[in-house]
Chain A
Amino acid sequence: MRYGETGFNLEIDLTKGNIERVETDPKDTELHLGGLGTNTKILWERVPPESDPFSPDIPLMFGPGLLCGTPAPGANRTIITAYSPQTLLMGYSMMGGFWAPELKFAGYDKVILRGKSPEMVYIWIHNDKVEIRDASHLKGKGAVETQETIKKELNEPNAQVAAIGLAGENRVYMASIEQGRSSASRLGLGAVMGDKGVKAIAVRGTKDINIAKPAEFYDLCNEVLKYIKYRNENPVPNVMTILQGLGSPQEMLHVDEKWHTENFMWGNARVRRKDFWNKEIEEKWKNTQLSVRKRLISCYNCPMKCGAIISVPGISTYMMKCFSKLTYAMAAFVEDLDFGFRIAQRATEYGVDGFSVPQVMAFAVELKEAGILTDADFAGCPTDNEGRFYWLLDRIVRREGIGDILADGTYWAAKKIGKGAEQFAHNNIKKHEQLPLKLGMLNPVYFLMYATGEKINITQIEGQFPQSPFMTMEEREEFVRDWIQVPDEKFKQYVLDWEPRGERSNPYYPTVDMSVDIVDWQEMIHYFDDALGVCAGLSSFPLKPPYHIHNYPKIISAATGIDMGEEDLKKVYRRNRNLLRAVNVRRGLRRADEVPPEDHWKKRFPELEAKLLDAYYKFKGWDNEGIPTKETLQELDLGYVAEDLEQRGIIKNG
């Protein structure tokens, strides 16, 4: 019997219409866990590195994490992978919600979609019964509308549906996959799904997931819950509000947006408005938010309430989380939160990424103002800020006129437009739009995370270590006192010694080696979460989370029966990290690509930055180009990867 997992993947060949239930190798679970780990393994094995992201060879994988479907709180995430049409590297994007456990209960650890369907279809998985169904009636329908329609026509109110909107159908590079209150938004995987001709995957499961050591596992889950309760009652003091608690940023709960509106940049990540927030705006925004917010909601088996049901008069209800209420308004320079909620509704139905798309639209407006795009490109576009954004959104999603170019994101659009447009695509790493954040002084830890993260999104890499030093020694001592999550006591000393000013402050403190240590820790927890399907909001993202290196091995062992200690689990992390790096290295990723936006910090330190990268690569067991060495790979049971890289001449002379 398999524990924690079902032991079967669902392989669907869309070209042939063939469906197979394929038993997986338990050894792969021991080596990679599940979710991102095993997705990466399959991508490495099956796909030639030369493939275009829209090649039918590319499997689009929906991989719930290993702990999804067990009672581990917050284990509900699906890791979706393919090659990103935007970055051309491996694209992995995740969604919470209710889909992952439902798939496990239906009896599958992954859905792997290959080939392309000649007609638009949706997949209906009901335990052992799996159908490819006609979706021609859903063509052009909104992502939320599609989910609702499918549940109705199947007469299965308990089915969970992941769907794309028009953006995915039209292969917009910023297309998302939407599911209930959640979405896999980044890196354009909705476009890959649309290209495969799949509008949605609906799933309903009523089978058991078994636990290897039931009593032990139950106790461990209870400890996690108890700690969540404790943390909810005891916010971390002396840090800003959104960093005090657990969960993803509590944007649906909080109405005070002084920090974001004054610290994040407006427009195309350009303008900081230091005196934006005032009493009048505060009152107005608060009223707007409270009037449209019907309920704070969670994902499967999680006590947090990071999402909300949003009902704006006159338009259909949808669900929201995180910052999308601000991203459109701020990019459009609209000072009315009502606009944020309204346009986000349309964007959610279209199924687009709420971070990249607003920036792309603001980028287009900038190009128009600079005379690079012309009146002809904007023919028919309203002149007010709100109207212009709705118009641009419609064009992008339909790939009409200038929208067809913008739909590829700022990097590719700028290349196509030319005439100096490249300078306006200023906020990218590895061709992908980043948070609209511009800061003063280089921060060595963030430099490394931005530069080297395979996720290519800062919010999915940071966490655990405070973002800035505490002002007084008392505050530092208080912080480290009950810091049980540290993998090593030295991290406490880093915090105690870290000063806001002077010798032991940014950018030279944390030192190069310390920065590498800190980044490695933060990455490690993210890699665990992404293989286990546990939400970062309870683990890798916030300060002092309930999951950490000391309880994860026990939880994994109790759930799956795999004998695992801390060192074993760390090795799994290094294995998964290196395999993912190898996938991207085979796709051409090199040191030259690991560059944060030039204007991210005003004060840059090229020598220090080079040292940081050198030290990070060395620590990881990579060469100076960021390529894992043969020894590193062999030590991690990835000899077959080393061999392949050698044959391709990527690893030279052993």
Chain B
Amino acid sequence: MAKIKKKIKTIKVDLDKCNGCRACEVICSAFHANPKYSSNNPARSRIRMIRDPIRDVYVPVYAGEYTAAECMGRDKYVIDGKEYDECGFCRAACPSRDAFKEPDSGLPLKCDMCEDDPPREKPLCVEWCLNDALIYEEREEEVEEETKPEDVEIGLESMINKYGLQKVMDTVARISQKD
């Protein structure tokens, strides 16, 4: 298979350098307004400060994938004796919390690294973080070109794994006769 180059975009988050100002939330929500910068509202931001000054908890988290169901359990990290929030490092827009959802519609939000035309040098949250708590890094990696199986194929494969090929074939045959 052919090798292709893939751009890996990383934001390095240094919790020790964060001063908790939420400029990242401000500019993120402004950038994603339509038209651009026409409004701002940190509740729409795709980066969120999970922040509790009294416990010295300062964690900027980026919005990742939407998930329809919450996890069966939750995690809670303790690092150097400091307890962080439940799910305090998780990027998911999930039913267990209101982060990363549009406040009015409830639709999920996801960080797009400030995709723009022409492309930006770095995401705006990084540009607005003068304390260098957010540092943008970009590198290229050579990866095998993926031949992506179709969705139907993935689904069928998992059915076959579970029920065996014969049973799946029988079922498909029976359903097709009904039609």
Distance A608 CA – B26 CA, assembled complex (angstroms): 50
**B112–chain A nearest beta-carbon distance, Å:** 18
Partner of B53, one of A180, A217, A218: A180
A144 partner residues in chain B, CB cutoff 8 A: 54
Partner of A296, one of B19, B26, B38, B128: B19
A117 contacts the other chain (Cβ, under 8 Å)?
no
B21 touches A298 (CB 8 A): yes
| Cβ-closest chain B residue relative to A216 | B37
**B169–chain A nearest beta-carbon distance, Å:** 52
**A223–chain B nearest beta-carbon distance, Å:** 13
Partner of B54, one of A69, A225, A303, A317: A317
A299 touches B21 (CB 8 A): yes
**A224–chain B nearest beta-carbon distance, Å:** 11
B130 contacts the other chain (Cβ, under 8 Å)?
yes
| Cβ-closest chain A residue relative to B85 | A157
Distance A610 CA – B35 CA, assembled complex (angstroms): 57
B63 contacts the other chain (Cβ, under 8 Å)?
no
**A103–chain B nearest beta-carbon distance, Å:** 13
A181 partner residues in chain B, CB cutoff 8 A: 53
Distance A148 CA – B52 CA, assembled complex (angstroms): 10
- Residues of B57-83 contacting chain A, CB below 8 A: 58
B40 touches A70 (CB 8 A): yes
A157 and B53 contact, Cβ closer than 8 Å, known pairs A70-B40, A303-B23: no
Question: How many A-B contacts are there with CB distance less than 8 Å?
Answer: 97
Interface size band for A: 35 or more
A209 contacts the other chain (Cβ, under 8 Å)?
yes
Interface size band for B: 20 to 34
B141 contacts the other chain (Cβ, under 8 Å)?
no
A73 contacts the other chain (Cβ, under 8 Å)?
yes
A295 partner residues in chain B, CB cutoff 8 A: 19-20, 56, 58
A211 contacts the other chain (Cβ, under 8 Å)?
yes
Digitize A63-84: 1 where CB-to-B-CB distance is under 8 Å, 0 elsewhere.
Answer: 0000001110100000000000
- Residues of A285-330 contacting chain B, CB below 8 A: 294-305, 309, 311, 316-319
A588 contacts the other chain (Cβ, under 8 Å)?
no
A302 partner residues in chain B, CB cutoff 8 A: 21, 23
A266 contacts the other chain (Cβ, under 8 Å)?
no
Which 5 pairs between the two chains have the least Cβ-Cβ distance? A206-B43, A214-B37, A303-B130, A206-B103, A208-B39
B residues with a Cβ closer than 8 A to A are 19-23, 26-27, 30, 33, 35-44, 52-56, 58, 103, 128-131
Given contacts A295-B58, A301-B26, 9 further A-B contacts (CB under 8 A): A71-B37, A71-B40, A180-B53, A206-B41, A214-B35, A300-B21, A303-B19, A303-B21, A303-B130
28 contacts between A and B (CB under 8 A): A69-B40, A71-B40, A73-B23, A98-B22, A105-B42, A105-B43, A206-B43, A207-B43, A207-B103, A208-B33, A209-B40, A210-B38, A210-B39, A211-B40, A215-B36, A229-B130, A294-B56, A295-B58, A301-B23, A301-B26, A303-B19, A303-B23, A303-B130, A305-B19, A309-B53, A309-B54, A309-B56, A318-B54
